[in-house]
Chains A and B, each alone.
Chain A
Amino acid sequence: MLDLATQALAAGTTTGVTGSLKVFGAVAYGLAAIGPGVGIGLIFGHAIEAMARQPEATGRITQYMWIGFALAEALALIGLVVPFIFSGG
């Protein structure tokens, strides 16, 4: 796999990402999704635990849960978009 990567790097030009290097865009997104994956799991886990401890606060907890989810999800989606910036990944 290492010489595949070397070949791909040798074939790529200096301007933008050409065909053989585009696969690293997928790798980049995979790495970018680790952090937000953990984060979103924590958000929903803690929200469920809080709702179990105090069911009458469910409405307020749900509202903050969705806000936190969207903020964490934003990072994962920025990671999805960035490979497309480098000439159409």
Chain B
Amino acid sequence: MNSDIQLAAASGGGCHIFSGCGFPAPGLQDFDFKPIFSIGSFHFTKPILLALICAAAVIVFFWAAFRKPKIVPRGMQNLGEVALFGVRDQILRPSLGKKGDSYLPFLTAMFFFIYFMNVLEIIPIAQFPVPSRVGFAWSLALIVYVTYLYIGIKNQGLGGYFKNMIPHDVPWWIYPILIPIEFARYIFIQPFTLGIRLFANMFAGHLLLLIFTLATWYLASLSIGLLFAATSFVMVLGVTLLEALIQLLQAFIFTTLTATYIADSLEAGH
């Protein structure tokens, strides 16, 4: 991570405040990583490794919880049931209702994968939220996009899906405004905002944490600087708590909107 290089260079030269060097401001370079290994032009970087670790963690968690399920749950199964029923009652039932229970595995996997990826930001050693590399957010949004388009067209037919986008009990002169807006919403805006909401939240959070962490180091010169550094460190703790909330919230929002979009695709098909 470029911040490691900055810190190494800074510590080698003792680059703190009051010694004539500028603040090593975080920026886009802190989101690029040197590849761990490369196969041709495919570079295996730290975000890819973290995403694979998260996927494995989700699989291992739910496999361990429901390996030998008992009627009266014990141990890991308790946690797995809390997780599963939490997703079902808070995310799935409000949008899809009881008949949407078949989407529970999809939504559970989505929620926990995104949450584990997000929470890697505040876990030591990893300390990088994987969706802050925009490709990861776009891939998840693409999965949701293809899913709800497929469900919509399968349930309502190709023409029926586009016809049901537009409510029918509006005055005729609204249609020239309504049709482009509704079409753009379902085809362009929903997947775009779904992906970029996750990406931008994680990107901004990581940047914020970097600013205060680097500032704590930079301000820690052996004088009044230590007081500045302590204040900056308090901000690091505050931002970490804020990020913990935002990470859970963003995973919840992504999954809730997925359920809503699937419900929209199912609902007009009767």
Interface pick from B62-70, B172-180, B191-199 = B191-199
For residue B201, CB closer than 8 A to chain A, the reply is yes
Kindly report which residue of chain A lies nearest to residue B29, judged by CB atoms. A88
For residue B27, CB closer than 8 A to chain A, the reply is yes
For residue B216, CB closer than 8 A to chain A, the reply is no
Within 8 A of B (CB), among A41-71: 63, 66-67, 69-71
For residue A24, CB closer than 8 A to chain B, the reply is no
A side interface size, CB within 8 A:
14
Which of B94, B196, B252 has a CB less than 8 Å from the CB of A81?
A: B196
For residue B170, CB closer than 8 A to chain A, the reply is no
Kindly report which residue of chain B lies nearest to residue A87, judged by CB atoms. B28
Task: Tell me which residues across on chain A come within 8 A of B204, comparing CB atoms.
Answer: 77, 80-81
Which of B94, B197, B249, B252 has a CB less than 8 Å from the CB of A77?
A: B197
Decide if B28 touches A88 in the complex (CB within 8 Å): yes
Decide if A81 touches B253 in the complex (CB within 8 Å): no
For chain A, what secondary structure do more than half of its interface residues adopt (helix, strand, loop), or is it mixed?
helix
Which of B27, B90, B193, B201 has a CB less than 8 Å from the CB of A88?
A: B27
Decide if B199 touches A81 in the complex (CB within 8 Å): yes
For residue B256, CB closer than 8 A to chain A, the reply is yes
What is the CA–CA distance of A73 and B250 in the complex, to the nearest angstrom? 11
Task: Tell me which residues across on chain B come within 8 A of A78, comparing CB atoms.
Answer: 196-197, 200
Task: Tell me which residues across on chain A come within 8 A of B29, comparing CB atoms.
Answer: 88
Within 8 A of A (CB), among B106-161: none
Kindly report which residue of chain B lies nearest to residue A59, judged by CB atoms. B90
For residue B212, CB closer than 8 A to chain A, the reply is no
User: How near does chain B come to A58, taking the closest CB pair, in angstroms?
Assistant: 15
Decide if A80 touches B200 in the complex (CB within 8 Å): yes
Decide if A63 touches B90 in the complex (CB within 8 Å): yes
User: How near does chain B come to A86, taking the closest CB pair, in angstroms?
Assistant: 11
Task: Tell me which residues across on chain A come within 8 A of B250, comparing CB atoms.
Answer: 70
Which of A66, A69, A71, A74 has a CB less than 8 Å from the CB of B200?
A: A74
Query: Which of B's residues lie within 8 Å of A, judged by CB?
Result: 27-29, 90, 94, 193, 196-197, 199-201, 203-204, 249-250, 252-253, 256
- What would 24 A/B residue contacts be, using CB atoms closer than 8 Å? A63-B94, A66-B252, A67-B253, A69-B249, A70-B197, A70-B249, A70-B250, A70-B253, A71-B197, A74-B196, A74-B201, A77-B201, A77-B203, A77-B204, A78-B197, A80-B200, A80-B203, A80-B204, A81-B196, A84-B27, A84-B203, A88-B27, A88-B28, A88-B29
In the A-B complex, list the 3 residue pairs whose CB atoms are closest, starting with the nearest: A77-B200, A74-B197, A70-B253
